[in-house]
Structure 1
Amino acid sequence: MSRATRVSTIRRHLVQGGLVDLGLGEATQKVGHPAQHKTDGFAARQHVDDAGTLLVIVGAYGPDWFTTMREARHRLEQPYVKCHVDGEAPGLADNELMVRWATSAELQARAAVQERRQAPLKALLRQGEAQQRAEEERQSRERAGQFGLF
């Protein structure tokens, strides 16, 4: 059983990420129609799953609700927020995401994927730094009058 996820904590993370809390009530959220709202933003509500774990459902609303939903997912899956976001859970509308705290295994897997994705860039950076050091060393030898020796 995972840890309880509080709606106030998730709401705070999203607001700190620059998203607008529309403060919609649970009844309004369940009705749907995300594009009918004039302002892009989100609304969050508590949910209890079948195992009795407290989760949060975040809904994106406004003319560009899909972008808002993508931004919410991105913000909540940051390493410092440590949430797991599921948009495919049964019973969710198209504009809703189910949020819970991520397990350590999920966080480790996410870090491993990020490491694999960044490996080519890191190798390229190390290669560039090595070339720069070699060039600086060559130039310092030339300035010292040792260019003929090497």
Structure 2
Amino acid sequence: MPRVTRAHTVAHHLVQGGLTDLKLSEAAQMKDRPGLYREDGFSVRSYHAPDGTLLTVAGAYGPDWFMTLAQIRHRLEQPYIRYAVTDDAPELRDHELLVRWATGEELRARRQAAAARQAPVVALLRHQEAERAAEDAGQSALF
């Protein structure tokens, strides 16, 4: 059973990431279209999963709501925030994401994917450091 995800905690993480909280009521979130708002931002509401766990739905609003949706996903899936974001819950609309705590397996997979993306850069940096150390020792690379 997933851990409870509180809406105010998710909203706090998003605000800390530079997003604007529109603080829409749940009724407004359920009936309004995301493009009706002049300012890009988000709003959160509670969601009860089929197993009874309280989770959070984060919705993106504004003229560029699709970009805001991507920013929400990116912010909440940072390793130090530890949420998992999905868009496949039955009652979600196109501009909404379901937020829950990430499992240990998901976090490990994210770390491995990040390490794989960074491996070429790390290898290049290590090679440059080795060349610099050789030059400092009075040796030069022979070509």
- TM-score in terms of structure 2 length: 0.93
Distance in 1 (CA, whole Å) between partners of 2:88 and 2:111 is 22
Distance in 1 (CA, whole Å) between partners of 2:41 and 2:10 is 14
1:46 aligns with 2:46: yes
1:10 aligns with 2:20: no
> Helix, strand or coil: the match of 1:56?
strand
Q: Deviations over 1:45-64 (max 9, x none)?
A: 00011011111000000001
* Alpha-carbon distance, 1:95 to partner: 0.5
Q: CA RMSD in A?
A: 1.3
Q: Which amino acid aligns with 2:110?
A: R
Q: Deviations over 1:34-73 (max 9, x none)?
A: 0110110000000011011111000000001111111111
> Helix, strand or coil: the match of 1:138?
coil
Provide the residue aligned with 1:120 in structure 2: 120
Deviation above 3 Å: which 4+ runs of structure 1? none
**Aligned positions of 1:1-150 closer than 5 A:** 1-138=1-138
* Alpha-carbon distance, 1:89 to partner: 2.6
Q: Which amino acid aligns with 2:70?
A: R
* Alpha-carbon distance, 1:116 to partner: 1.1
Q: Percent identity?
A: 52
* Alpha-carbon distance, 1:27 to partner: 1.0
Q: Deviations over 1:71-97 (max 9, x none)?
A: 111110011100000023322111000
Q: Deviations over 1:90-112 (max 9, x none)?
A: 22111000000111111111111
CA contact (8 A) 1:41 1:61 kept: yes
Number of residues of Structure 1 aligned to a counterpart in Structure 2: 140
* Alpha-carbon distance, 1:4 to partner: 0.3
- TM-score in terms of structure 1 length: 0.89
